[in-house]
């Protein structure tokens, strides 16, 4: 049996989280309902819609921050990649609501006050308390939203995207005071102001705790440092990281850490990399494909370099089950699966898709593990044309793994490969809840 950490955090699943978010949204709408005397005329409709959207924005940013607060139940329950997708999706939605909120309030106030939209905008900006700050916040959020969409299309560097994202904290702080000062649901409602503030403070504390305090404590306790760097394949390197009392981290195969290497050129950004071997009590290994400036610099790491590591994160860990297991790796997505492959008991098949022989990482290790534990490794190498058709079709999968629909499947690879593989597995008859996947682009 693989070593199961004793104190695994409780997990919150997608449904539970969604239900919690929706319940919160309904409470927010009830707050508006309670505080609003009634809606009359065009101005009333516009202002009312603007108020509801404003409240939802104020609530939405809190949810978005909480999704990224590295809360263990969410990290273990949904997985970081899914949380990031929810965050991105929710972020687009909330930014749209922010824009709509601003426009509707200006328009609605202008209609009720019988002034033009332009002069009402001026009044709002200059005379309403804190509205100017909130407008700056709205512009910041919109800017971050646009940059994130460009980052998703890889037109912006990861680091640029990361640092611009820090402005969202500033935006949230700037927007907060206008909510209580002019928000119709809060003026004259002390209890609402109290609970609203409590919600913000709670999330702030969670962020500071899980994103700052816990990693700092872990850094002091485990004293991570680089032991060495090894070339695995062209453009692929492994970094060995040592430390003390690493077993107390309760890391499992398939999980990852966010690594910050404390050298002059790398200290200011952290990057997620999966463990590529089962975590030991004094050494961890990550394996990195050369994807950008950052991963290139990793090849030059010197032994003894101190490392700041946040984690372990990720829900991509083997489930407790007696069924056989199929592992499906694409390219450098082999890294977490390599660790799972070595740790899992029972019948295991590994299918490893790579575009060429040279790109196969860990061939010797994988063959050795397969021989030692009695598992099966299939290499699907070459482009589609060379293989002659879809390498991951349901038919191919069935021929490699005859009892496919009796198995748990774990897929890790680039986004396109992952979704194609999940589709093929579904078509081959594997139930959805037995397909686990992680996409490493986030």
Partner 1 sequence: MRRVILAVTGTIAGLVALLSFKSHVPSVPVAATTGGSGGSSSSSSSSSSSGGQTTTVPGEFPQGSLAGQLPAGETAVDGKAADTAYGPVQIQLIERNTKIVKVAVLVQPANTLHDIQIGAFAFPKLISETLAAQNAKIDAVSGASYTSAGYIASLQSALDQSA
Of 93 and 210, which has the nearer Cβ to partner 1? Answer: 93
- Measured CA to CA, the distance from residue 113 to residue 126 in angstroms comes to 16
The window from 112-120, 205-213, 243-251, 299-307 that contacts partner 1 (CB under 8 A) reads 112-120
Please give the backbone phi and psi of residue 402, each rounded to the nearest 5 degrees, phi first: -55, -40
Residues in the chain: 442
CA distance 250 to 257: 12
Tokens 């390498």 — which residue? Answer: 391
Q: Which of 3, 19, 113, 122 binds partner 1 (CB under 8 A)?
A: 113
Is 123 one of the binding residues for partner 1 (CB under 8 A)?
A: yes
How open is the CA angle 197-128-41, to the nearest 5 degrees? 95
CB atoms within 10 A of CB 431: 11
- Among 89, 117, 125, 376, contact with partner 1 (rule: CB under 8 A): 89
- Any alpha helices (H) in 247-362, and if so which ranges? 293-298, 334-343
Kindly indicate which of the ranges 48-56, 152-160, 389-397, 410-418 contains the residues binding partner 1, using the contact rule CB under 8 A. 48-56
Q: Which of residues 229-258 bind partner 1 (CB under 8 A)?
A: none
Q: Which is nearer to partner 1, 28 or 174 (CB)?
A: 28
Phi, psi of 11 (to 5 degrees): -110, 140
Residue 53 binds partner 1 (CB under 8 A): yes
Q: Is 38 in the site for partner 1 (CB under 8 A)?
A: yes
The DSSP bridge pattern shows strands 348-354 and 376-381 to be parallel
The verdict on 111 binding partner 1 (CB under 8 A) reads yes
Distance of CA 158 to the CA centre of its chain: 14
- Provide the 10 A C-beta neighbour count for residue 329: 29
Check residue 177 for interaction with partner 1 (CB under 8 A).
Answer: no
DSSP conformation class of 48: H
Applying CB under 8 A, the span of 43-51, 238-246, 361-369, 387-395 interacting with partner 1 comes to: 43-51
Minimum separation from the CB atom of position 36 to partner 1 (A)? 6
407 φ, ψ to 5°?
-115, 160
36 binds partner 1 (CB under 8 A): yes
DSSP assignment letter at 14: H
The yes or no reply on residue 280 touching partner 1 (CB under 8 A) is: no
CB 53 → partner 1: shortest distance, Å? Answer: 7
Handedness of CA 390, 393, 397, 399 (dihedral sign): negative
Q: How far is the CB of 195 from partner 1 (least distance, A)?
A: 20
Q: How far apart are CA 34 and CA 32, in angstroms?
A: 5
Kindly indicate which of the ranges 32-40, 353-361, 390-398, 423-431 contains the residues binding partner 1, using the contact rule CB under 8 A: 32-40
Residue 94 binds partner 1, judged by CB under 8 A: no
Among 9, 11, 45, 365, binds partner 1 (CB under 8 A): 45
48 is an interface residue for partner 1 by CB under 8 A: yes
CA distance 28 to 36: 12
Asked whether position 43 contacts partner 1 by CB under 8 A, the answer is yes
- Tell me how far apart the alpha carbons of residues 135 and 127 are, in angstroms, rounded to a whole number: 13
Say whether residue 127 binds partner 1 (CB under 8 A).
Answer: yes
Of residues 21, 139, 164, 182, which one binds partner 1 by CB under 8 A? 182
Residues that bind partner 1 (CB under 8 A): 29, 32-33, 36-41, 43-45, 48-49, 52-53, 89, 93, 97, 109, 111-114, 123, 127-129, 182, 184, 187-188
């Amino acid at each position: 049996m693989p070593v199961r950490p004793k104190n695994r955090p409780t997990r919150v699943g997608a449904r539970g989280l969604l239900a919690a978010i929706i319940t919160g949204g309904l409470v927010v709408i009830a707050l508006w309902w309670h505080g609003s005397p009634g809606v009359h005329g065009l101005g009333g409709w516009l202002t009312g819609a603007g108020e509801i959207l404003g409240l939802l924005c104020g609530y939405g940013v809190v949810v978005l921050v909480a999704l990224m607060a590295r809360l263990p139940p969410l990290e273990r329950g949904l997985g970081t990649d899914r949380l990031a997708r929810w965050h991105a999706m929710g972020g687009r939605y909330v930014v749209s609501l922010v824009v709509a909120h601003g426009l509707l309030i200006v328009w609605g106030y202008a209609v009720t006050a019988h002034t033009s939209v332009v002069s009402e905008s001026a009044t709002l900006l200059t005379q309403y308390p804190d509205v100017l700050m909130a407008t700056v916040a709205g512009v910041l959020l919109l800017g971050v939203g646009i940059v994130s969409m460009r980052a998703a299309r890889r037109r912006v560097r990861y680091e640029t995207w990361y640092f611009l994202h820090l402005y969202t904290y500033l935006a949230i702080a700037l927007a907060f005071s206008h909510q209580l000062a002019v928000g119709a649901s809060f003026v004259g409602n002390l209890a609402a102001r109290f609970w609203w503030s409590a919600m913000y403070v709670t999330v702030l504390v969670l962020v500071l705790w899980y994103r700052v305090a816990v990693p700092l404590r872990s850094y002091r306790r485990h004293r991570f440092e680089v032991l060495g760097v090894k070339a695995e394949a062209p453009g692929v390197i492994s970094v060995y990281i040592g430390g003390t009392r690493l077993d107390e981290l309760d890391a499992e195969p398939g999980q990852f850490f966010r690594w910050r290497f404390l050298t002059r050129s790398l200290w200011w950004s952290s990057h997620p990399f999966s463990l590529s071997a089962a975590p030991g009590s004094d050494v961890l290994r990550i394996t990195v494909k050369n994807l950008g400036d950052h991963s290139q610099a990793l090849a030059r790491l010197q032994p003894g370099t101190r490392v700041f590591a946040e984690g372990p994160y990720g829900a991509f860990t083997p489930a407790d089950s007696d069924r056989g297991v199929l592992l499906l790796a694409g390219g450098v997505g082999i890294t977490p699966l390599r660790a799972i492959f070595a740790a899992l008991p029972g019948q295991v098949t590994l299918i490893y898709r790579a575009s060429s022989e040279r790109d196969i990482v860990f061939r010797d290790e994988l063959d050795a593990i397969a021989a030692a534990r009695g598992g099966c490794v299939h290499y699907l190498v070459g482009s589609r044309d060379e293989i002659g058709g879809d390498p991951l079709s349901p038919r191919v999968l069935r021929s490699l793994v005859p009892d496919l629909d009796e198995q748990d499947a774990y897929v890790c690879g680039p986004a396109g490969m992952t979704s194609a593989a999940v589709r093929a597995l579904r078509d081959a008859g594997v139930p959805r809840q037995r397909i686990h996947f992680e996409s490493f682009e986030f």
